[in-house]
Structure 1
């Protein structure tokens, strides 16, 4: 197992600077943000432009990682593959395909995305749509020896009422994804607020997890008594502000990382555990983000066999 980080938390820094800093802090791998250059959604970045990616770009990227002794663990493009607008949906699907092609040139083992959801259709209808969209992408990835991985992020802000906007939030849906040839980019933080034990959920599926993310979560149960499980309803300026929990860097929330890492090892996981920094306390400036990444490293590094 290696300890890595997702680059999206430093959107304004070039990949060269992130790689140098991460290696200097003892990180061993990078999960590289590969969203399109346009757009300003939080926690996204474009550190690799797959729209114009060829052998020359692949050579320079591999050289950068070799220079700093880093592993490229995954290309990250987490967007709505079931977007209700047909043109937007096609653009997302096409960009996933572009990430697969770039990963093939780089020898990168995984590409990460979301299933997504059309909020105007039932879950069952969305699953039938996904069963048409994903097989060609899975086949394209498989031809290059790449695994298409889906994070179990709930993406509640994509649904008008705060319900799950990414249909990958439970083990039941993981099994459905696996039947399509998809894999899981496991993140324990989302399971905790859903009321799912992250260790019990993890244990049966480690062999379908080639990559994992390390994000923590801090719950405020007394606030849940006011808002209920879906969160704020009357005043919710930020669609992702549920009101009774917030993300933290590992070590500052409620995830039992000792048990999570131990369960990954017990199940034979030998991939990258990648820190996903979305902590509002250690955010806002690049210096604070870097401090948060240092806290995460100090928390997780002792748990990972050197």
Structure 2
């Protein structure tokens, strides 16, 4: 397994300065944003697509710093009911899948998206209650008319390009739990899997270790984000887990993000890493920093320091003691 980083943290640095900085911290792999919410500071789709000379130079520079690319990421809402928004997200996703194929990058990360509640809607509608029955009708329409047709097409495209799609299980989007990921995967194909981020499991009341088991049994973990979460029980009692308090008002929120090791202890993180290995994930653990109490560099550095001692680098091979 390798420690990686989602390089949008360092969008203020130019490409080579970013590579130099992350490699100096012991990072082995980088996840690059190509557009959407993450931006594209270090990976310009239109400059690289189809340009073999630029791609070669791009990859050589990454290799020069002892790094590999774990994934390309373009988190956005390709199912947004406003066509100009969904079309832009779809275009970036398709281009990112094609560039990943050309670069030999195995995974593209994104969100599932969330549609509206009818064809003329203006905004996404994220149903989170089973009753009144209106919500069930909305959910059925979204999956049958929007999610499954769209992602079946994208699964087939990804398969043709020999690339996997990692959907981040994130609140506000239709795929946000192990169950919704597996539902989409069953309907659309196995190129679709999870970009599993434990921070979003904790605030939903899901144990990340158990989520890894559920998804790992189906070989459905394509990528992994390393980010932590604090649950503030007093605020949770008042606001509930679907807390709409602004992220900047951390004292008042039911939960908020922390860097690795500052929401849950090292034993918990060791269990996460060990369970990933137990269920066949031997790839990159990519640090994502969204800690409102630490600077980017401090939070990133502490995440690396906390992950290094618990990473599993070598498989056991033959069980010599049996």
- TM-score computed with the length of structure 2 as normaliser: 0.83
User: Residues 240 and 172 from structure 1, CA distance in 2 versus in 1: closer, same or farther, beyond 3 angstroms?
Assistant: farther
Larger radius of gyration: 2
Q: Counterpart in 2 of 1:133?
A: 150
Q: Pick the aligned partner of 1:145 from 162, 171, 176.
A: 162
Gap regions ≥5 residues in structure 2:
118-124, 126-137, 314-322
| Aligned partners of 1:82 and 1:126 also within 8 Å | no
Q: Counterpart in 1 of 2:316?
A: none
1:291 and 2:308 are equivalent in the alignment:
no
Q: Counterpart in 1 of 2:286?
A: 274
- TM-score computed with the length of structure 1 as normaliser: 0.87
> How much does 1:119 deviate?
4.2
- State the superposition RMSD in angstroms: 1.9
Instruction: Say which SS state the counterpart of residue 102 (structure 2) adopts.
Output: helix
Gap regions ≥5 residues in structure 1:
155-164, 283-287
1:107 and 2:104 are equivalent in the alignment:
yes
> How much does 1:48 deviate?
0.8
Q: Counterpart in 2 of 1:31?
A: 31
User: Residues 61 and 240 from structure 1, CA distance in 2 versus in 1: closer, same or farther, beyond 3 angstroms?
Assistant: farther
* Separation in 2, partners of 1:223, 1:239: 15
| Residue correspondences, number | 283
| Aligned partners of 1:258 and 1:303 also within 8 Å | yes
| Aligned partners of 1:9 and 1:289 also within 8 Å | yes
* Separation in 2, partners of 1:133, 1:240: 36
User: Residues 106 and 240 from structure 1, CA distance in 2 versus in 1: closer, same or farther, beyond 3 angstroms?
Assistant: farther
* Separation in 2, partners of 1:294, 1:8: 15
Q: Pick the aligned partner of 1:183 from 189, 193, 204.
A: 193
* Separation in 2, partners of 1:71, 1:64: 10
Q: Counterpart in 2 of 1:158?
A: none
| Aligned partners of 2:247 and 2:256 also within 8 Å | no
1:92 and 2:102 are equivalent in the alignment:
no
Q: C-alpha deviations, 1:207-252, integer Å up to 9, x for none?
A: 21121110100110111122223224xxx45699782111011011
